[in-house]
Structure 1
Amino acid sequence: MKVILRPGVMLMAMLACSGTPAAESTQVQRADGAMTPLLVYEPASAKACPPLLLISHGAGGSEQGYAYLARAMSEDGWRAIVMGHRESGNASLRADVRQHGLKEGIGVLVTDAHAYRARFMDIDAATQWAEKRCHAPYRALLGHSMGAITVMLEAGATNRLGVQGKGGFDAYVALSPEGPGRVFPAGAWAPIHAPMLLLTGTRDGGLDGDYRWRTQAFDGLGPGCHWLGVIDGSSHLNFAGVGLSGKTETATVSLVRSYLDGLRGGHCGEPPHLAGVEVRNK
């Protein structure tokens, strides 16, 4: 008898053979009664409650994304949770693109205040779920693209949408951050005081500019433990693990680990020296 394994089953089998723990899929209830899907990557071994890293996907994404980063952080001792944001997932993006076209459809979704309020509830629900397991000694929020906007809003950035997250994380990481434009006015990042790591790539263009437009978010931050990494040749989707993303994934994991582990140790640390990566700090 011939047995055919689906790609997802094959992946689970490979992880089991390699000794890497598989992610746990679950759903948690939000404040409005809706369910938030989570993919939870537990550390292989933890003698105490591990630090918590929540990961927020971009427009059209899901909790199935960013496995490379979540798995690497779980191997580093973190409980990494990728959240699914249904109001800004694949179905919502497709609907906006059908109605407005690709570029403007994305623009409609990433400026939807309701979608961000839903994301804030997803973050609250995921945090409460993790806290019921144990009280994390350190908590960080990471997001890519629309998730990076979410990170900035949670951290306290001024915005044109009239929304505000609760904040309260010890550190933030923004992959492909937005510069001034549809969501953020000039000077939007000055109110942010918490540590923040920002990453982009030289091919990481956005709706309102190229990667240099994205670096303006770093320029707008006040004094503090902030890093900006620019990866040569990295595109927008590479940070989501799409395309020829090996270099981007390796650099992203190295920078995120170094930054967050340094902060957990009580100091800002020094950025690692990586080939093809320019890092600024302040």
Structure 2
Amino acid sequence: MPRSLIGLLLAAIGAAAPAQQLSFAPRADGAQVPMMVYPAASPSSTGCPPLALLSPGAGGSEQGLRYLAQGLGADGWRAIVIGHRESGMDALKRDVRTTRGLRAGLAMLVDDPAAYRARFMDIDAARQWASAPCKAPFTALLGHSMGAHTVQFEAGARNTAGLHPAGGFDAYVALSPAGPEAWLPADADAAITAPVLMITGTRDAGLGGDERWREQAFAALPPGQCDRLAVIDGATHMQLGGGSFDARTQQAVVALVTTWLDGLRAGTCKPAPALERVRIQDK
């Protein structure tokens, strides 16, 4: 897809997409999960639209990943960004105070098993809430940074923290995936049998390393599931998460995600769109 056409598509999203709405889903432990719900711009005439749940990174909220949720909504998806309170901004500030440093505080939060268990409950609550009016024909879980960790765990990556989420989504998208680290052995993602799209950037630095560290997660995936890795030249960690605006990165992410997911929904492994300065690897 030519970059000029992608730009025109993304420019029209804000005007064409219905307004998002804040909602709350009851969690198993009684907590209320905040969610920003983005309706499908073109509702299905035959039933429920496909459902995309989005999990932001540490310190994020239901206000995050707006560009991707809008892009999915414009593509016909019902997109829901989940607010993970136990790993949101208040939790991050608490850990920063405890460790007396941003990096150490972030590492403390990202390595907290209880925070992930709360995230799994949030995801279960959002999925159950979204299924109340009707059951989506196709479901996808997407996440950035700590949300990508969450996606990998939900997809079935082995871990040594005793985390066993429900999983069961039809497809998974990890923005800034996690390579080998304390909880994730080198072959952790070899246990994943569902299709996964991983997206990183050449400036996507994180606690564990750069994009080469992140690419190890893709290398561990077993072949035959339409798995795909996209590396966007120049893209940073914050740009991929929508926290630092970069139109080219956001346009590329939306095009990569919607093309891949729409292909899976149609029962095919659709080729990636032709984008400038984006390296693609398929399995």
Please indicate, yes or no, whether the TM-score normalized by the shorter chain is above 0.5.
Answer: yes
Rounded Cα–Cα distance in structure 2 between residues aligned with 1:80 and 1:199: 19
Kindly indicate whether the alpha-carbon contact (under 8 Å) linking 2:67 and 2:250 is maintained by their aligned counterparts in 1: yes
Name 1:158's counterpart in structure 2: 158
How big is the shift at 1:19?
4.6
Name 2:197's counterpart in structure 1: 197
Name 1:37's counterpart in structure 2: 34
Name 1:254's counterpart in structure 2: 255
Rounded Cα–Cα distance in structure 1 between residues aligned with 2:280 and 2:213: 16
Letter in 1 for 2:26: Q
Kindly indicate whether the alpha-carbon contact (under 8 Å) linking 1:110 and 1:146 is maintained by their aligned counterparts in 2: yes
Give deviations 1:41-87, integer Å, cap 9, x for gaps: 00123112100000000000000011111011111000000000000
Select 1:20's aligned residue among 10, 14, 17: 17
Rounded Cα–Cα distance in structure 2 between residues aligned with 1:142 and 1:58: 11
Kindly indicate whether the alpha-carbon contact (under 8 Å) linking 1:41 and 1:74 is maintained by their aligned counterparts in 2: yes
How big is the shift at 1:182?
2.5
Rounded Cα–Cα distance in structure 1 between residues aligned with 2:236 and 2:22: 29
Name 2:71's counterpart in structure 1: 72
Q: Which stretch has the larger CA shift, 153-162 or 87-96?
A: 153-162
Kindly indicate whether the alpha-carbon contact (under 8 Å) linking 1:173 and 1:198 is maintained by their aligned counterparts in 2: yes
Q: Which has the higher contact order (CA 8 A, sep 6+)?
A: 2
Task: Classify the secondary structure of the residue corresponding to 2:189.
Answer: coil
Kindly indicate whether the alpha-carbon contact (under 8 Å) linking 2:173 and 2:198 is maintained by their aligned counterparts in 1: yes
Name 2:90's counterpart in structure 1: 91
RMSD (Å) for aligned C-alpha atoms = 1.2
Task: Classify the secondary structure of the residue corresponding to 2:116.
Answer: helix
1:225 and 2:222 aligned: no
* Residues paired across the two proteins, number: 267
Rounded Cα–Cα distance in structure 1 between residues aligned with 2:275 and 2:202: 15
How big is the shift at 1:249?
0.3
Name 1:245's counterpart in structure 2: 246
Name 1:51's counterpart in structure 2: 50
Identity of aligned residues (%): 56
1:216 and 2:213 aligned: no
Name 1:132's counterpart in structure 2: 132
Task: Classify the secondary structure of the residue corresponding to 2:190.
Answer: coil
Give deviations 1:142-193, integer Å, cap 9, x for gaps: 0000000000000110112211111100000000001001331111011101
Rounded Cα–Cα distance in structure 2 between residues aligned with 1:272 and 1:19: 22
Letter in 2 for 1:26: S
Rounded Cα–Cα distance in structure 2 between residues aligned with 1:22 and 1:173: 24
Kindly indicate whether the alpha-carbon contact (under 8 Å) linking 2:37 and 2:80 is maintained by their aligned counterparts in 1: yes
The TM-score with structure 2 as length reference comes to: 0.92
Kindly indicate whether the alpha-carbon contact (under 8 Å) linking 1:111 and 1:161 is maintained by their aligned counterparts in 2: no
Letter in 2 for 1:79: R
Name 1:234's counterpart in structure 2: 235
Deviating runs (4+, > 6 A) in structure 1? none
Name 2:3's counterpart in structure 1: none
Task: Classify the secondary structure of the residue corresponding to 1:158.
Answer: coil
Kindly indicate whether the alpha-carbon contact (under 8 Å) linking 1:158 and 1:189 is maintained by their aligned counterparts in 2: yes
Kindly indicate whether the alpha-carbon contact (under 8 Å) linking 2:201 and 2:235 is maintained by their aligned counterparts in 1: yes
Rounded Cα–Cα distance in structure 1 between residues aligned with 2:243 and 2:98: 25
Q: Which stretch has the larger CA shift, 79-88 or 160-169?
A: 160-169
Task: Classify the secondary structure of the residue corresponding to 1:177.
Answer: coil
Task: Classify the secondary structure of the residue corresponding to 2:255.
Answer: helix
Kindly indicate whether the alpha-carbon contact (under 8 Å) linking 1:181 and 1:208 is maintained by their aligned counterparts in 2: yes
Rounded Cα–Cα distance in structure 2 between residues aligned with 1:79 and 1:21: 11
Letter in 1 for 2:18: P
Rounded Cα–Cα distance in structure 1 between residues aligned with 2:212 and 2:83: 29
Rounded Cα–Cα distance in structure 1 between residues aligned with 2:152 and 2:265: 21
Task: Classify the secondary structure of the residue corresponding to 1:207.
Answer: coil
Rounded Cα–Cα distance in structure 2 between residues aligned with 1:18 and 1:256: 21
Q: 1:70 to 1:244 in 2, by over 3 A?
A: closer
Name 2:271's counterpart in structure 1: 270
Kindly indicate whether the alpha-carbon contact (under 8 Å) linking 2:17 and 2:40 is maintained by their aligned counterparts in 1: no
The TM-score with structure 1 as length reference comes to: 0.92
Give deviations 1:184-223, integer Å, cap 9, x for gaps: 1111011101000000000001112111000000000001
Kindly indicate whether the alpha-carbon contact (under 8 Å) linking 2:16 and 2:41 is maintained by their aligned counterparts in 1: no
